[in-house]
């Protein structure tokens, strides 16, 4: 049941007729069935089963049980009216040990998924790597060693040949920053390593893997559109102080420029190479010719945007506190010597992430100005809130509706500024396994009752339906009104 009052909706700011609306998920976060049909273990199986690594000891063992409830989820997508669905393929389903011949039963699951999408007139957008490295490859060095990139190339070849005829849009990697810096630097994600030198090496090998995948996809899938998805941020200095300006530049260097510069300009940013000069192995793993591989032309850029960031130099922390700012205690990378501060009055999601939709606009304009005019897809955007099912069996997630509406409007601002944005994928279709936060953070536009697996579309689902149907920014003034 929906409380969306269609008469009270003002739909303004139409999008171009061909604008693509979608929803996104990732395999380990929703599939469950971790031993079904020959799937091998991934680093996220190992990590989530490590005591203390994930909130509440949650694991992806069952997750949303999407593996066994796929048809129901496809029906939800159809009801939603999306033109595209972004999902990821689990490498350990395709190659249980990370190398060797294809496991046909694993591939079959994705073949059925793609067929189901096609039957419903929904375009598959396939992400090849959303963080679930086969564990045996991690045991052999993981992304810190070059061989993993070569193995990735073999895996891509298998998937492209098996599924290529029905998939046009391919995303090589999802958020390589998270895989490298959260996985090997901060240790907050699998494989849980805390070593900056290894994180830098992983950064390079992931990008190299991306580069190796591009020509493989092009030769196996004629007409393929190939891209990469990056999580990018809009880093602002907390003040005009030159130390804070330099801190913002370091944050931007680590999150944004270490990925955008090699992919689009064929080089690593000098200041970052200098910053990581003494870590081992760091960027010394780079070989002649790698940057050409990494920077070969792609067809689109996927951008994931969630929150803004305001940073100061670590030395100015007490000054900021005295001035009344909240300084985040979370110092992921001590070497970067910076602190995040909160801007008073800004709303926050239950991830404790600040909300600033205009950060998306400035990020998109900056990508266009500094890097590329290629089509951009917002491959993820969304928010976790403390949802609940009310006594009438509804989830009235007005805060999520507001968040999505503001960000879709901010994306429209970027279109108005001439940025080539061609699509938007909400994160996420379903409440799911939110990595180190387990099931404690709900990002879905569909509620999942984890003990039973039952699905319940939230208010935001109905609102997004209307957005897609009207192809415009929908201001649902009386959403939730009785």
> How many residues bind ligand GCO, per CB under 6 A?
11
Q: Cβ 379 to ligand GCO, closest distance in Å?
A: 8
Q: Cβ 63 to ligand GCO, closest distance in Å?
A: 12
Q: Which of residues 220-239 bind ligand GCO (CB under 6 A)?
A: 231
> 317 and 307 in contact (C-beta within 8 Å)?
no
Contact status: 31 vs ligand GCO (CB under 6 A): no
Integer Cα distance of 285 and 149 in angstroms: 12
438 φ/ψ angles, rounded to the nearest 5 degrees? 55, -135
Contact status: 434 vs ligand GCO (CB under 6 A): yes
Binding ligand GCO (rule: CB under 6 A), the pick from 443, 461, 463, 464 is: 443
Q: Which of residues 373-402 bind ligand GCO (CB under 6 A)?
A: 380
For ligand GCO, the closer of residues 431 and 466 by Cβ is 431
Contact status: 307 vs ligand GCO (CB under 6 A): no
Q: Cβ 149 to ligand GCO, closest distance in Å?
A: 20
Kindly indicate which of the ranges 64-72, 116-124, 171-179, 210-218 contains the residues binding ligand GCO, using the contact rule CB under 6 A: 171-179
Contact status: 48 vs ligand GCO (CB under 6 A): no
For ligand GCO, the closer of residues 70 and 351 by Cβ is 351
Binding ligand GCO (rule: CB under 6 A), the pick from 45, 73, 138, 175 is: 175
Catalytic residue among 175, 261, 459, 466: 175
For ligand GCO, the closer of residues 58 and 466 by Cβ is 58
For ligand GCO, the closer of residues 28 and 155 by Cβ is 28
Q: Is 175 a catalytic residue?
A: yes
Contact status: 427 vs ligand GCO (CB under 6 A): yes
Kindly indicate which of the ranges 2-10, 172-180, 355-363, 457-465 contains the residues binding ligand GCO, using the contact rule CB under 6 A: 172-180
Q: Please report the sign of the dihedral spanned by the C-alpha atoms of residue 203, residue 341, residue 426, residue 378.
A: negative
Catalytic residue among 380, 434, 459, 466: 380
Contact status: 305 vs ligand GCO (CB under 6 A): no
Q: Cβ 27 to ligand GCO, closest distance in Å?
A: 10
Q: Is 466 a catalytic residue?
A: no
Q: Which residue is nearest to ligand GCO (CB)?
A: 175
Binding ligand GCO (rule: CB under 6 A), the pick from 23, 26, 117, 160 is: 26
Q: Cβ 244 to ligand GCO, closest distance in Å?
A: 27
Contact status: 29 vs ligand GCO (CB under 6 A): yes
Q: Cβ 64 to ligand GCO, closest distance in Å?
A: 13
User: What string of H, E and C letters represents the secondary structure of the chain?
Assistant: CCCCCHHHEEEEEECCCCCEEEEECCHHHHCCCCCHHHCCCEHHHHHHCCCCCCHHHCCCCCCCCHHHHHHHHHHHHHHHCCCEEEEECCHHHHCCCCCCCCCHHHHHHHHHHHHHHHHCCCEEEEEEECCCCEHHHHHCCHHHCHHHHHHHHHHHHHHHHHHHHHCCEEEEEECHHHHHHHHHHCCCCCCCCCCHHHHHHHHHHHHHHHHHHHHHHHHHCCCCEEEEEEECCCEEECCCCHHHHHHHHHHHHHHHHHHHHHHHHCCCCHHHHHHCCCCCCHHHHCCCCHHHHHCCCCCEEEEECCCCEEEEEHHHHHHHHHCCCCECCCCCCHHHCEEEECCCCCCECCCCCECCCHHHHHHHHHHHHHCCCCCEEEEECCCCCCCCCCCCCCCCCHHHHHHHHHHHHHHHHHHHCCCCEEEEEEECCECCCCHHHCCCCCCCCEEEECCCCEEEECHHHHHHHHHHHHCEEEEECCCCCC
Kindly indicate which of the ranges 170-178, 205-213, 235-243, 395-403 contains the residues binding ligand GCO, using the contact rule CB under 6 A: 170-178
Q: Which of residues 238-297 bind ligand GCO (CB under 6 A)?
A: none
Binding residues for ligand GCO, per CB under 6 A?
26, 29, 174-175, 178, 231, 304, 380, 427, 434, 443
Show which residues are catalytic.
Answer: 175, 380
């Amino acid at each position: 049941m929906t409380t969306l009052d269609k008469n009270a909706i003002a739909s303004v700011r139409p999008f171009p007729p061909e604008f693509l609306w979608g929803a996104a998920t990732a395999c380990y976060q929703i599939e469950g069935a971790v031993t079904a049909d020959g799937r091998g273990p991934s680093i996220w199986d190992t990590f989530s089963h490590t005591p203390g690594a994930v909130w509440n000891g949650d694991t992806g063992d069952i997750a949303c049980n999407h593996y066994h409830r796929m048809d129901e989820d496809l029906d939800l997508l159809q009801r939603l009216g999306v033109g595209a669905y972004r999902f990821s393929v689990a490498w350990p389903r395709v190659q249980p040990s990370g190398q060797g011949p294809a496991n046909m039963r694993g591939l079959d699951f994705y073949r059925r998924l793609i067929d189901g999408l096609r039957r419903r007139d929904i375009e598959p957008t396939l992400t090849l790597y959303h963080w679930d490295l086969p564990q045996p490859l991690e045991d052999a060095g993981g992304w810190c060693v070059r061989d993993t990139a070569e193995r990735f190339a073999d895996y891509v070849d298998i998937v492209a040949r098996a599924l290529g005829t029905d998939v046009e849009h391919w995303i090589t990697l999802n958020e390589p920053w998270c895989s490298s810096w959260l996985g090997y630097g901060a240790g907050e994600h699998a494989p849980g390593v805390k070593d900056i030198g290894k994180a830098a090496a992983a950064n390079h090998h992931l990008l190299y893997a991306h580069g190796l995948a591009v020509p493989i996809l092009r030769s196996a899938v004629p007409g393929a559109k190939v891209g990469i998805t990056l999580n990018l941020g809009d880093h602002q200095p907390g003040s005009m102080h030159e130390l804070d300006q330099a801190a913002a530049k370091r944050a931007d260097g680590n999150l944004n420029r270490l990925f955008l510069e090699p992919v689009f300009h064929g080089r690593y940013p000098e200041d970052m190479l200098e910053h990581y000069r003494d870590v081992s192995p760091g960027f010394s793993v780079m070989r002649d010719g790698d940057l050409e591989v990494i920077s070969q032309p792609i067809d689109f850029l996927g951008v994931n945007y969630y929150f803004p960031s305001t940073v100061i130099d670590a030395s100015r922390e007490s000054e900021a506190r005295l001035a009344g700012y909240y300084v985040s205690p979370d110092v992921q990378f001590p070497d970067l010597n910076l602190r995040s501060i909160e801007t008073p009055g800004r709303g926050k999601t239950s991830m404790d992430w600040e909300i600033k939709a205009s950060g998306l606009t400035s990020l998109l304009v900056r990508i266009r100005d500094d890097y590329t005019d290629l089509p951009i897809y917002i491959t993820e955007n969304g928010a976790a809130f403390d949802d609940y099912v009310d006594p009438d069996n509804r989830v009235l997630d007005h805060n999520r509706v507001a968040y999505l509406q503001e960000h879709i409007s901010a994306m429209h601002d970027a279109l108005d500024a001439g940025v080539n944005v061609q699509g938007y994928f909400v994160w996420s279709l379903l409440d799911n396994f939110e990595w180190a936060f387990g099931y404690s953070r709900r990002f879905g536009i569909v509620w999942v009752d984890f003990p039973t697996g039952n699905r319940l579309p939230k208010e935001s689902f109905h609102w997004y339906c209307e957005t897609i149907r009207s192809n415009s920014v929908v201001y649902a003034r009386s959403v939730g009104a009785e």
